[in-house]
Structure 1
Amino acid sequence: MVIKQIAEIERIKKLDEQWDSIRKDINFAEELAINDFVKENTRFESIVDLYNQACLHTLGHQDISDLTRKNLDAFISENSEFKSMIDLKVKFDDFFKKINKGA
């Protein structure tokens, strides 16, 4: 019984270490934050959903490699409060800096 408890404690320690490394990964945190930002400020579930919907709407398929910046910007301005992808990114960057100021 004691061995099982020790093994469980060690397993929990490893999981905690893994979660700590994920929390400290700024790129991962930014990826999660931009998806939250897009979900809260548009009708799309994530940045990938936005790209996929733009493709589907403008090109009739979901191969984002065919999507041009002009098509993406037009889709964003028609379907959100943002004027373009750059506008969305700038507003996201401001938001991300604010939420990480105290961290």
Structure 2
Amino acid sequence: MAVFYIRKQLLARSLNQYSGTEAREKMKSGSILLDVRTAQERRSVSLPNSLHIPLHELSSRMKELEKHKGKEIICYCASGSRSVNAGIKLKKAGFTVGNLTGGIASWNY
């Protein structure tokens, strides 16, 4: 169990980490926001111009993101934990990935 946790932490460090302000700047240069929360969470609040693929569906729906493979995909969730898991999956699949540190709460509308 400890080996898995350490491996996940090392993989998480390989993701670009962005504050809300930094993520907005990255979007201006073509980065894509990916919401990995549930549909119910997204109905409550979502970030503008973001794509939505819940984490539990990501593996089966990854082909939908292929057209964005040349761009950085910045994942977000409620707190930043699920988005790290999504980022790790995407990075293993060859995507350039970032993470919205602190999740949607860090967006600072």
Shorter-chain TM-score range? under 0.3
Q: Which has the higher helix share?
A: 1
Query: TM (normalized to structure 1)?
Result: 0.27
Query: TM (normalized to structure 2)?
Result: 0.26
Structure with the greater relative contact order (CA < 8 A, sep ≥ 6): 1 or 2? 2
- Which structure would you say has the larger Rg? 1
